[in-house]
Structure 1
Amino acid sequence: MTELNDHYDHYGVTSADDPYSWDDPHRLKERIVTELVTVRERSLTYTDADDDLLVRQHSPLMSPLVWDLAHVGNYEELWVLRAVGGMAPLRPEIDDIYDAFKQPRRDRPTLPLLPPGETRRYLCGVRGRVLDVLDGMDPEAMRLDGPDPLRVGGYVFGLVTQHEHQHDETMLATLQLSGHPGLVPEGGLPTGRSIGPVAPEIHIPGGIFTMGAGAASPWAYDNERVAHRRHLPGYWIDRYPVSNGAFATFMADGGYDDPRWWNPRGWEWMRRSGVRAPLFWARDGDTWSRTRFGRVEPVPEDEPVQHVSWYEADAYACWAGKRLPTEAEWEKACGGHAYPWGDRPPSVGQANLGNRAARPAPIGAFPRGASPYGVEQLIGDVWEWTDSWFLPYPGYRSFPYSEYSEVFFGESYRVLRGGSWATHPTAVRRTFRNWDYPIRRQIFAGFRCARSEV
């Protein structure tokens, strides 16, 4: 890392809490270096393990960790070194191996993957050249009115940084499935607040709001655009995500045994799969325990429930006499800024992000992160399932490649919003859209409920 640190020292790494300076290319370059340092340290930390852990496939739903690690380097090479830097391929023979669309996850262990040591050397070689590209980039081309959309606002660097952070979260999900006890921090989190047996609701008045990302978010993905006006009738939304304790009440009331609460496809999936509780939960006498990164511990009643599928979330909402919010309702509940609390990046007192403690924070732990309507914990803790399919916005245009968003549009994937405790702050905002199959449970997903005004 010595060679890379020389590049970092050239710019002087700035605080990750500083707001972006989109109109100051030099400060933007400093911020990009900070982002590149942060994400790579994170990736290397999560893969600082025995080779056997890295090369094994711990679930057919997930890649071997060493595949994810080399993939982020190959992606960075493709977009920064080749697409922007005009460089010749460093390792053209590995492009197909690390193409996520050509190689299904279940098949990746059979590929001739780079060994862990060689993977790290490849990443280091790519990153050194990436910093050279950044160093030589014309500052004028990075301005928001520049002619090349890959350079405007440093977009290509935001693309590869967010992509790597997303794979880092995937690595954490893989580590959780593996039962590996290490590599996980146990930092402190704020305490929650007692909310009683029923979570309070917030009324969101009807009216028009702006949905999606505009020019103020140059690093937003294509599926977050185009910002457009939407009208919503008034509705109610839960102040907090649904807690473990509340979900356990649904289970104790026979929630998994009553088809009245279940989407027909969900009922069929649940009966076929034998699911009877959130993933990683097990009954321990009269209580529930969970396995969290190899540790068995009591299920905390005051944490948001996680590792539930969309079908389980939908069933709970029906049982509670409510429904899941649409993604438009979720986004409107955030208010109109980049984050529920405003436009400054998240602070430790506003949201649980970046793997501070490898778990959600207690319900009510972040009143400073509330939206103008008073809805809390919208960002961080757990990804929140919504009732919406993953579909394009009006005026959508694929950029910079159709395989990121366009190929997934349709009624197969449900939208999730808000990020989780494992999501890095750079990879989440009010407009950020995640998506997955409604049966997925290995992701750090929970939910909150909503109901119509009348």
Structure 2
Amino acid sequence: MTDETERLRDRVAVELERTRARTALLTDAVDDDDLVRQHSPLMSPLVWDLAHVGNQEELWLVRDVGGRDPVRRDIDELYDAFQHPRRDRPQLPLLGPVEARGYVRTVRDKVLDLLDAVPLEGRRLTTDAFAFGMIVQHEQQHDETMLATHQLRVGAPVLTAPSPPDAAVRVGDEVLIPGGPFTMGTSTEAWALDNERPAHTVDVPAFFMDAACVTNGEYARFIADGGYDQPRWWTPEGWEHRVRADLTAPMHWLRDRDWWAYTRFGRTEAVNPDEPVVHVCFHEAQAYAAWAGKRLPTEAEWEKAARFDPATGRSRRYPWGDEDPQEHHANLGQRHLAPAVAGAYPAGASPAGVHQLIGDVWEWTASDFAGYPGFAAFPYREYSEVFFGPKYKVLRGGSFGTDAAACRGTFRNWDYPIRRQIFSGLRCARDAHLSELG
């Protein structure tokens, strides 16, 4: 066994345990009644997510990669996300809290045992420990989903974290992203998922990108100016949804005399005007951008702003370079329970001067979710391909609840344009006119 292989095994073990510690934090924070309760029809009971991550780990690592006997084949159908909509899951004969915790422990013990023996080469699923990385990312994605469930939960606060850092620098209004080709996607990132592949060249005309995400204060001005009352800012589809859903402000906002309050993880306080707005759907984001005289960036524009380095002509892994995210780069991993104000992470800015593209809030783009040229589903169609099409819009960049293992400059998220229980915000863009190009 080479030193490199041994280091890879150690990294996998660390990531698996670090991820499971977060899962335990989110599920141990509430009592068993809360664990089995459905806090919103949009979300599963927390106990379903807990057993589901164990079942996926069993399917891919214990049975497929390890070739071991099943632990609980009888529950596969219960925890198949495609078999049962979230709203119906409380009626299923799910594992109870004690049984679910015992199940995921048993699966993890088997995985750690086989990790020492499985060759990390020879199969695409095992080369560079891809299957292990896929499972880490899958569990972290469900951890963010469980964090969103906590946000929808009614009751006394159970989660705590320090506040994000204050602004260290002043961030300007917008920056010019020069036109021309760049490399979008990746063919080399070992744990990149199928929808991030392959790397391909995209020619993007010059455009301006906001240097920071839209803040609560800016969004409040849109509301005060009648933004939710004027169809002219909305697409026909967006206006229909606004009326049907009776949208009047971001989710979790409450009117408090002449300002707004916000309920976050069981605590109600005044909305911070300098924080990025969060819990807005695509239609709200699109309407705000129109009101501001701008638009949402395309996915290609977002990635060029985040990755393209004009000095070298290459695409970086992250806005700041190729180094894995550190605490001074971005607000990730539930270290804080809120997005940070603009300028809080100057070390994470892109070469063009766009700040906080990674972390804080997922950013809606104008693009439908689709495969890149040369896309090939791997290791199963249900991860990405079945979602391709105009029903889903792409979000980029991650949020304060996204873990670094599940967030890259190439990472793609997607959701229905009406969804806003997710930690979603926006950043605007606009076309560059010839007179502005010098």
Corresponding residue for 1:255? 227
Partners of 2:156 and 2:175 lie apart in 1 by 39
Q: Is 1:191 paired with 2:171?
A: no
Partners of 2:213 and 2:49 lie apart in 1 by 30
Partners of 2:164 and 2:293 lie apart in 1 by 32
Corresponding residue for 2:276? 304
Partners of 1:265 and 1:23 lie apart in 2 by 56
- Residue type of the alignment partner of 1:57: Q
In the TM superposition, what are the counterparts of 1:32-47 in structure 2 within 5 Å? 32-47=12-27
Contact 1:179 1:292 in 2 (8 A): no
- Residue type of the alignment partner of 2:255: R
Number of paired residues? 424
In the TM superposition, what are the counterparts of 1:397-416 in structure 2 within 5 Å? 397-416=376-395
Corresponding residue for 2:318? 339
- Residue type of the alignment partner of 1:438: P
- Residue type of the alignment partner of 1:38: R
Structure 2 SS opposite 1:24: helix
Contact 2:168 2:346 in 1 (8 A): no
Report the Cα offset of residue 277 of structure 1: 0.2
Instruction: Select the residue among 24, 28, 35 that pairs with 1:54.
Output: 35
Corresponding residue for 1:72? 53
Instruction: Select the residue among 215, 218, 221 that pairs with 1:246.
Output: 218
Corresponding residue for 2:311? none
Contact 1:203 1:237 in 2 (8 A): yes
Per-residue CA deviation, residues 172-207 of structure 1 (Å, 9 max, x unaligned), is 1001101344442231322126869xx611100000
Q: Alpha carbon RMSD of aligned pairs, Å?
A: 1.3
Partners of 1:51 and 1:132 lie apart in 2 by 30
Partners of 2:137 and 2:63 lie apart in 1 by 18
Per-residue CA deviation, residues 18-71 of structure 1 (Å, 9 max, x unaligned), is xxxx99111011111110111000001100121110101111110000000000
Corresponding residue for 1:18? none
- Residue type of the alignment partner of 2:178: P
Q: Is 1:395 paired with 2:390?
A: no
Instruction: Select the residue among 144, 156, 166 that pairs with 1:169.
Output: 144
Q: Is 1:450 paired with 2:435?
A: no
Contact 1:184 1:357 in 2 (8 A): no
Structure 2 SS opposite 1:414: strand
Corresponding residue for 1:235? 207
Report the Cα offset of residue 357 of structure 1: 1.8
Contact 2:299 2:394 in 1 (8 A): yes
Per-residue CA deviation, residues 363-386 of structure 1 (Å, 9 max, x unaligned), is 111111001111100000000000
Corresponding residue for 1:368? 347
Corresponding residue for 1:134? 115
- Residue type of the alignment partner of 1:410: G
Partners of 1:271 and 1:366 lie apart in 2 by 38
Partners of 2:106 and 2:8 lie apart in 1 by 23
Gaps of 5+ in 2: 308-314, 434-438
Partners of 2:160 and 2:305 lie apart in 1 by 31
Contact 1:185 1:356 in 2 (8 A): no
Q: Is 1:179 paired with 2:159?
A: no
Runs of 4+ aligned residues of structure 1 deviating over 6 Å after TM superposition are none
Gaps of 5+ in 1: 1-21
Contact 1:334 1:375 in 2 (8 A): yes
Report the Cα offset of residue 87 of structure 1: 1.4
- Residue type of the alignment partner of 1:174: T
Per-residue CA deviation, residues 295-322 of structure 1 (Å, 9 max, x unaligned), is 1100000000000000000000000000
Instruction: Give TM-score scaled by structure 2 length.
Output: 0.95
Contact 2:345 2:355 in 1 (8 A): yes
- Residue type of the alignment partner of 2:187: G
Corresponding residue for 1:425? 404
- Residue type of the alignment partner of 1:43: T
Corresponding residue for 2:64? 83
Structure 1 SS opposite 2:352: coil
Contact 2:61 2:111 in 1 (8 A): yes
Contact 2:217 2:273 in 1 (8 A): yes
Structure 2 SS opposite 1:403: helix
Partners of 1:415 and 1:96 lie apart in 2 by 29
Query: 1:23–1:331: structure 2 CA closer, same or farther, 3 Å change rule?
Result: farther
Contact 1:416 1:434 in 2 (8 A): yes
Corresponding residue for 1:12? none
Report the Cα offset of residue 89 of structure 1: 1.4
Report the Cα offset of residue 453 of structure 1: 1.1
- Identical counterparts, % of pairs: 58
In the TM superposition, what are the counterparts of 1:354-365 in structure 2 within 5 Å? 354-365=333-344
Corresponding residue for 2:87? 106
Corresponding residue for 2:182? 209
Corresponding residue for 2:310? none
Partners of 1:57 and 1:190 lie apart in 2 by 33
Contact 2:330 2:345 in 1 (8 A): yes
Instruction: Give TM-score scaled by structure 1 length.
Output: 0.92
